[in-house]
């Protein structure tokens, strides 16, 4: 399993490995759980001149239902590898015992029980975000958050604060004028807004 931070070139690394594999006339299977990830990977693989005749992209749901439609692959990529212990993934991965399997994720832990030792021999940790910022590959950032939170109400569930406890810990108000504060703090710059739930 390879742990790579978001936006640090995970797909480029996969494309390089795929090119080396297809250059030796070996097949590659690329498993994902969202269609958009296939489109992104296909574009990068083509740009890196991977032999696309030897690459098969598949949504995991389709792959698990139609195993007979999958070509035997020398190498299997699992994008968003933290999902790999789900039954659908295990069904596909177990089908190809002899294949090399590389799991890529920015989230190398599971929200459920157990770890990845049943499926991964090792965890390769990528560079930290601070390294990419220092080398000029990523922009530095500032972050801002309201301090109106009752931390006594926060409860951990499966390794993270539960949405229910965050709802109880936060006051249900809009903190100021979002557009006004964006203009004040970051006018003309990219900004990302995080919330703890869809409802929020």
How is domain 2-134 classified at the CATH fold level? Rossmann fold (3.40.50)
Which pLDDT does position 181 carry in this prediction? 85
pTM: predicted TM-score of the whole model, two decimal places: 0.67
The secondary structure of 123-159, three-state, reads: CEECCCHHHHHHCCCCCCCCCCCCCCECHHHCCEECC
Could you read off the pLDDT tens digit of each residue along the chain, which spans 200 residues?
A: 555 555 557 888 899 999 999 999 999 999 988 888 888 889 999 999 999 999 999 999 999 999 988 999 999 998 877 777 788 988 988 898 889 998 887 766 655 555 666 666 777 777 788 888 898 888 888 877 767 778 888 887 766 778 788 888 877 666 667 788 889 988 998 887 777 777 77
Which pLDDT does position 56 carry in this prediction? 96
State the CB neighbour count (10 A cutoff) for residue 13: 16
Which residues neighbour 88 within 8 Å (Cβ) at sequence distance 6 or greater?
60, 61, 63, 64
**Is 154:161 a contact under the CB 8 Å cutoff?**
yes
**Residue 22: φ, ψ to 5°:** -70, -25
Pairing of strands 124-125, 2-3: parallel
Which pLDDT does position 6 carry in this prediction? 54
Which pLDDT does position 167 carry in this prediction? 83
Integer Rg of the chain from CA = 21
Which pLDDT does position 81 carry in this prediction? 76
* Ranges in the chain annotated CATH 3.40.50.300: 2-134
């Amino acid at each position: 399993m390879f742990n790579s931070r978001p936006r640090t070139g995970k797909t480029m690394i996969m494309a390089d490995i795929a090119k080396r594999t297809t250059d030796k006339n070996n097949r590659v299977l690329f498993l994902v759980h969202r269609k958009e990830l296939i489109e992104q990977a296909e574009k990068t693989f083509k740009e890196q001149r991977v032999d696309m005749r030897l690459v098969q992209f598949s949504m995991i749901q389709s792959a698990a239902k139609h195993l007979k439609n999958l070509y035997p692959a020398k190498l299997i990529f699992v994008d968003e590898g933290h999902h790999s212990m789900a039954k659908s993934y295990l069904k596909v991965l177990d089908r190809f015992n002899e294949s090399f399997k590389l799991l890529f994720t920015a989230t190398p832990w599971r929200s459920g029980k157990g770890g990845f030792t049943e499926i991964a021999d090792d965890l390769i940790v990528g560079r930290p975000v601070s390294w990419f910022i220092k080398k000029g590959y990523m922009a530095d950032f500032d972050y801002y958050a309201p301090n109106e939170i009752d931390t006594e109400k926060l409860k951990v569930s499966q390794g993270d604060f539960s949405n229910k406890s965050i709802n109880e810990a936060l006051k249900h108000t809009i903190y100021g004028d979002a557009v006004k504060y964006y203009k004040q703090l970051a006018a003309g710059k990219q900004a990302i807004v995080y919330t703890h739930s869809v409802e929020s």
